[in-house]
Amino acid sequence: MLNAQRLELKHIDDKGNFAGYASVFGVVDNQNDMMLEGAFAATLLDGKHNVKLLWQHNMDEPIGVFTLLREDARGLYVEGRLLLEVQRAKEAHALLKAGAIAGLSIGYVPVRYRIDPLTGVRLLEEVALYEISLVTFPANAEANVHAVKQEETSLLRSGELIRLSDAIDEAIAVISR
């Protein structure tokens, strides 16, 4: 059985490009699972991973491609693009922009894990990652995607776009108090 974790999509650009975190380490999701740092390393190790971008975990409905997948200290960072020539991707894009859906979910099979005896949380040390889907009801509330535009590629590659967007979100929160 594939398990899922959430990725909330806050923004997406008109070309269908996005970037953010598909999984954040150290967060207990609503399935009582927690990804640990390094959980995706084996999947990403050889650079030939073939992680699919799907609609609602439906293997018959690929809707885009990933241009970058990497682990960092925060979690599984992804960059991808919806293929707007595909009808379902076009529909997903419209739903995302309208805020009707707001999540991504990872499909994986646990490879190595342990159960915390005090909390019962399954601590995932290694998973085989197969797909990341746009979904209506995701599991992990801690991951975010920010808009990506062609001219922001150098910022995106360095991770600065995400940090800048997070700083702006924090400043808005402080001002709004």
- Among this protein's residues, is 79 annotated catalytic? no
> Is the alpha carbon torsion for 56, 60, 64, 67 positive or negative?
positive
**What is the secondary structure of the chain as a DSSP string?**
--B--EEEE----TT-EEEEEEEETT-B-TTSEEEPTTTTHHHHTTS----EEEETTEEEEEEEEEEEEEE-SSEEEEEEEE-TTSHHHHHHHHHHHHTS--EEEEEEEEEEEEE-TTT--EEEEEEEEEEEEEESS-S-TT-EEEE--GGGHHHHHHTHHHHHHHHHHHHHHHHH-
Of the candidates 61, 71, 79, 131, the residue annotated as catalytic is 131
Q: Of 37, 57, 125, 126, which one is the catalytic site residue?
A: 57
Rounded CA-CA distance 96/47 in Å is: 29
Decide if 57 is catalytic. Answer: yes
Closest CA to 48 of 77, 62, 18, 69: 69
Q: Annotated catalytic, 146? A: no
Choosing from 71, 79, 105, 133, which is the catalytic residue?
Answer: 105
Active site residues: 57, 105, 131
